[in-house]
Each structure stands twice: as C-alpha cells, then as structure tokens.
Amino acid sequence: MPSSSRRKVKIVCTLGPSSSTEFQIGTLLAEGMDVARLNFSHGTHEFHARLIGSVREAARKAHRPIAIMQDLQGPKIRVGALPKGGLELKAGDTLLLYPEGSTPKTSTHGKILVPISAEIAQSVAADTQRGARILFDDGKIATEATQVSGPEIVADVLIGGRLTDHKGMNFPGTPLSIPCLTEKDLVDLKFGMDHGVDAIALSFVRSANDVVTLKEMLRKLSPNPPLVVAKIEREEAVDARDSIIEVTDGLLVARGDMAVEIGAERVPIVQKQLIRTCHELGVPVITATQMLESMIHSPTPTRAEASDVANAVFDGTDAIMLSGETASGSYPAEAVRTMSRIAIEAETAREMNSTRADIQPLPGSTVDAIEHSAAMIARHVGAVAIACITHTGSAVRTLSRYRPETPIVAIMDNEAVLRRLSLSWGVRGVLVPKIGSTDDLFTMVETSLLAQGWAEPEDLVVITAGIPTLRRGTTNMAKVHRIGPHLGRS
C-alpha cells in the first residue's frame, strides 16, 4: 500500500504554471494530492477549464476521487499601476490614495500619488476613519490615515519601503462593508458551477451571513451544490468564528492575510482555536499559507517549516495546503512528497497528537452514536477498516470527527459526493453501482476492500449502514464482519 494511503490528513495543492499539464497533475496525485485548488485571483477561464479537464482525467487514470476547490478572489484591495520600478516610500512621506483612472480632487501638493482599485475606493474610504492603519504588501509598508474625503484618503508613512504595482492593501481594525462577492466572483462562480467544481472557497468572509448568502445562491443554481469553505483572514471573521463554523461546510485558515490583520503573534493561537472548534463540530478545516514556502526554490524545507506542518497535524487539522510550492515553484512534486512524509511521521507520534481528544456523540443523534461506537469497536477488535455505506457522506464525516485509528472507507454510489469527502480527515472512498438493497451488502463491502488492497481474506472489518432500507439518513447498524476466506483480490 502506498505510504500516502496510510496518511489521514489530506493534502490540498494549488495548481498553476508548474502543475498545469495532465502529466504534472498525475505526478502530484501519485505523491499524495487529495484536493486540487484553483486560485481565481490568477489565470483565465480557458486556463482553469484546461486544469479541470486535466485533473479529472488524471484522477480517472489513477482511480482516485480528487476534489476540485475553486478559490474566489473576493474584494482584494490592491494598489493600481505605478511608475516603472515602483515608489520608494520613506517614513514621514504623505500619500494620496485615489481611484485609479480618475483625477485627484484633494490637493496633491507635497503628496505622493498612489492609485488604488477604482471599484472599491469609495466603499473603503467610507469605512476608514482618521487614525486608521493602512498596510501595503503584506504589512511591509505601514501608514496611518490623516484625512478622509471619499473616495480619497491621505495617509502618512510610518514604515517605508518600495511599493510596486498591484500590491495588496490591508485595513487592520477597520470593519469593511465591501461585499464578499464581487462582480468578478459572480462570473467566476457561474464558470465553476458549469464545470462541476466540488467546493467553493469564499474569500474575506466577515460573518456567518456571508456564508449563508452564498449557500442560498448555490442552492438556487443546483440541487446538489458544491461545499462552501469559509476563509478566515479578516479580524471580523476571527471574532465571529463560532457562528461562521456553525453554518459553513468547511473552513480554511488563511494565515497570510490573517497575520497582517491581527498580528503574526496571534495566528498560532487562533489557528489552534479554529481547528479545535471545527473538530468538535465535525467541520473539515484546512491549514494554509507558507507551510513549505522555501520549497518554491529549494528541494528541501527548513526545519521550522517541517515543524509548522507537524504542529498543524498535532492540532487536529483535516487538511494542509500548498500554494506557490505547487503552483509556481521549481519542486512541486517534491513539496507534496515532503508534506506527506511529515504528516505521516506526525500522525505516528500519537502521544503528541491532540486529534485523539475525547469527542462525545451529540445527544439524541443515532448516527453519532453508531459512528462513535464503530470507532471504538474497530479499535478493540483490531479491524483493518471501518466501511460506511452512505449516500450523502454525512455518516462518514461524522465518523471522521472521532478520529479513529482504523482507516475509514466510504462506500457510495455518488461520484460527486465521494470527491467532496476528499476534504475530510482519514476518509478513503470506493465508488460502487447503485446501492438499492441489503441482499449483497456485505459481499459488496468485501469486494470493494479487497479490490483496493485495504483488506485480506479473514480480516475483520466494521460496517455501518442503515438497515433494512439503506435510505439517506437512516444509519442505525454497526456490524463486525469477517471477510470470507474464499474471496481473493479481484
């Protein structure tokens, strides 16, 4: 069995120029990619359409369910076009921020002109107060607003540096009223739905309402909408994290923008809090940003990066994400291989692994009681797998919440739902013909596990299902089953 099959934590890989061909994507799959992330801050629809086709074909050849996550750009606040070489800013300089393409109305005397995205300038100015901090280029340049006359802002430079075209801006401590979904996002969203993406990552979430709004929109577009993954990067989202987790299908801890917004010193604690709450509620959580950043240019990681990945695993994250490492780096396959090896080592150190926390079943929930019991039974009898017969994936996600040592196998007849389980900790899946009756249920489980090499004749497995109807939401049975000695590998 490949080492990546033993890994419980999932790996999300961002695709880009370094991973755009079917061969390159197939290599990432072989090294352990579980979810392909498409970053819609970059690339054309034609480019992303080719990526989607290549992912689907590579997954088909590898006989693996791979999820595709569309990451929407959101209202990214950026500097506009600047003079060639950028602007060298010094402490004490005064900036005039104005909408790109317009003529400033505020006096320009003694000020350095900095155009910003025209579509957001008015809204940003309306939210900004005198004394507000305005950061550029991931916080490398710091300024303070001294005058606001919408859509223009005058700011004094506190910490200087070279500012170049299209660098990002942050307004830490300033609640922004810009909608999460921009006009670009709505166009990209339709593209994603038309191409069958499995999850939508929503950028710059501020409140639970942002997530609810997107989910309602998706339900109108499809009877089987993709998962919604809320990205936590704004200070408002950190403050509203519990209510956001309650309504979202998944969470992405976007540590880059979060560090600029709340301070890098707070990020490790917030990361642990977010992962802990998601784990308790059974919501898949992805830890992201600069996990193996040095591997963009180096074939090996730093010791600090290896520790960062391992600590995310110890925290109990469902998935860990690579960004530039696989999208534009020189060593994409090596980055995935390295991340997989670190995760496996961390999972092996169970005495340090907080994912073994004692999560209890929700009162009154039959599914929770069954899956919690299945995890304990499997450990006590030495089962090689827990096979969940499921239609919606809910029972499997519930079982994943209890972090069993025994491998989880989802057996289902819906390929789209099976792909979405790629985000959930410890879950592997098998697609079977339509599940209609219980007559051949156990034979189907045996055949599936043997074919994948996840069990041998005479092995014990634990099976959960809804008996006798096998209808959705009817899980009521956990059975210890011995695979027949007459069966062999298919």
**Catalytic machinery residues:** 37, 78, 231, 289
- Burial class, 384, CB count within 10 angstroms (exposed 0-12 / middle 13-18 / buried 19+): middle
Which of 98, 104, 161, 153 lies closest to 131 in space, CA to CA?
Answer: 153
- Answer whether 34's CB lies under 8 Å from 5's CB: no
Which helix (H) or strand (E) is 241 found in, with range? helix 241-247
Give the whole-angstrom CA distance, residue 15 versus residue 25.
Answer: 8
DSSP symbols for 184-228? HHHHHHHHHHHTT-SEEEETT--SHHHHHHHHHHHHHH-SSPPEE
Q: Which of 258, 232, 244, 120 is nearest to 185 (CA)?
A: 120
CA 413, CA 470: separation in Å to the nearest integer? 12
Tokens of 456: 């041998």
What distance in Å separates the CA atoms of residue 296 and residue 289, rounded to the nearest whole number? 13
- CB proximity list for 356: less than 8 A, separation 6 or greater: 350, 403
